[in-house]
Amino acid sequence: MNDMKKLEVSWNKKDMITSGEDELVCPWCGYSDPDSFEIDPGEGQTDCPDCEKEFTYMIQTSVIYASARKLSPKEISAIPLPF
Per-residue pLDDT at 55? 92
- The set of long-range contacts for 17-24, using a CB threshold of 8 Å and a minimum separation of 24, is 24/57, 24/59
DSSP string, 9-51: ---BTTTTB--S-SSEE-TTT-BEETTGGGSPSEEEEEE-TTT
Per-residue pLDDT at 69? 87
**DSSP 8-state secondary structure symbol assigned to residue 6:** B
pLDDT tens-digit series, residues 42-60:
899 999 999 999 999 988 8
Per-residue pLDDT at 33? 92
pLDDT tens-digit series, residues 2-24:
444 444 444 455 567 777 778 89
